[in-house]
Structure 1
Amino acid sequence: MSAVGQQVVPSPNVPRARAVVTGGSRGLGLAIAQRLRSDGIEVWTWDLVPPSDPEQLAHHCQVDVSDWKSVCAAADRTLAIGEVSILVNNAGMLGPVARTLDVEIDDWRRILDVNLTGAFLCVRALVPAMQQASKGRVVNIASIAGKHANANGAAYGASKAGLISLTKSLARELAKTGVLVNCVTPSVFESTILDHMEPVQKQRIFDALGSKAPMGRILRADEVAAMVAWLSSDACSYSTGAIFDLSGGRSEY
């Protein structure tokens, strides 16, 4: 019987795409990983911490993104399974809250190594194969702190500003290759870091932070994940080198 005109239904065992989410075992990274999985994407988490769901261990690599050998080992294992067409550089650390002149040099270097150099190393490891396949999406998770400086947070802000610049440079270099590179700059969002607090105390903090945004509330992790999902999809076809604001109207640019 002729197959002409028949609809081909993909096997449920074949993922629509394969993604790597760094720092994907918890927090925002977990929310992003879960959203991409719900869209039919096979997600590999690269994280120092294993996922809480045992079913995801098969698609997890223990990685220090600031270490080139560790990143290469994870890339070799992941690419051995098949093509990776999505990279979400989410791994990051806040570091100490301190005056710039009081920041320890080792702390400064560690924050830059994880937040900025880590993204660069993951790009070096995975993007060449995307370029060869003429298809790929890179989404860097920066921060509003990379656009609006905060006192006592110079190292974190500098690392995120650097990530924004890396996004723009890489996007221009890859613009004609089929690999699109974009960045999101979220403001403060609901996090498990406050789960140990009493509900009233936690709500007081959320209200204080939310009051800084014209929308009058703080960001949710699932809202960041939704933006990342679109930037990772084929629907995003003409945006590259763009910085997508997620601040509820707080950011002025």
Structure 2
Amino acid sequence: MSTTDDTTTDAPSPDAEPGKKGKKHLPVWQETILLLGIALVLAIVIKALFVQAFYIPSESMEPGLIKNDRILVEKPSYWFDGPERGDIVVFKDPGGWLNGEEAAGPTSPVAKMLSKVGLYPTGGHLVKRVIGVKGDVIKCCDDQGRISVNGQPLNEKDYARLDNAECYGPMVDDCGEDWKVGPIPDGEIFVMGDNRNNSADSSFHMCKPTDKDCTANPYVDVDDVVGKVFVLLWPSDRFKFIHRPDTFADIPDAD
């Protein structure tokens, strides 16, 4: 009596190469390290070339940007052309513009490490609005307290903050004192904080009209500009895209 065995075995494919084994996968821990490495490289590249996160270090850009807000800065806009009037820019300290707290940046070791590779908002920079660029002449102020650029008054009531001040262009200690700067040198910009009574900006660092033999430099080198603020990222209930105010479109070119 014969019996039939229902058990079958898979025979090697006639097309299979002798001795060839299936593809071997990396262990989970190795795959994890590889993926983390790729993510780290991508973060560094993105930070260096495209987008970087920062936080607002002071009250100088209120009311639009508040201290400790998280913002995103894009860099491609300035690859070929410099900053434009009305842009909010992040730039390196020209020298002595930041106080100790603002210059410190992230304080914890982990935050410091993550900020280096673009995985945590960076500190130690300034955030201001560009008021003038190459060749511009800026004056403060007309009979309505407005700054003018190349003879064109700016309407800044929609974004600038005045605390019991009479003009939009005060130097911190001398609100209302008339002043003039320019023509702005090539490769430089003149910047101001939107909180005009609480911002150590270009108007604060310029020579006052009554100063004699003053050598102060109120300008920011374009090479020190990291990029343009385009998103208020956090807190989430105030998320918004940042745009250049319309009033800057009316400014004529410098002579």
TM-score, normalisation: structure 2: 0.22
**Bigger Rg, structure 1 or 2:** 2
Give the structure with the larger strand fraction.
Answer: 2
Give the structure with the larger helix fraction.
Answer: 1
Higher RCO, Cα 8 Å, sep 6+: 2
